[in-house]
Amino acid sequence: MNGEYYFYQKDKVQENKKLLKYTPRTIIDIRSRHRTMVPDEEYENGHILVKKTCKALNNQYRSPKRNLNRTQY
């Protein structure tokens, strides 16, 4: 599961003015009405675990931040 599903599951996206400013209302309505509901453990074992692992590796090797195949300085 990715962060977008988490966002729709946990927040009231229909009331988020900043989101509505940049995303058409029809897209928000469709995605928020037919949400995919999963346990929080699915998020912890997915993108959240990847984030924590990348941070730990970055701290361990004290190297520039890495994003897939590109180095960010």
pLDDT classification of 22: cutoffs 50, 70, 90: very high
| Prediction pTM value | 0.51
Beta strands of 2-73 (E only): which ranges? 66-67, 70-71
Rounded alpha-carbon distances, angstroms, from residue 34 to 9, 30, 37: 10, 6, 9
What 3-state DSSP class applies to 69?
coil
Classify strands 66-67 and 70-71 as parallel, antiparallel or unpaired. Answer: antiparallel
Residue 21 confidence (pLDDT) above 90: yes
Per DSSP, what are the bridge partners of residue 67? 70
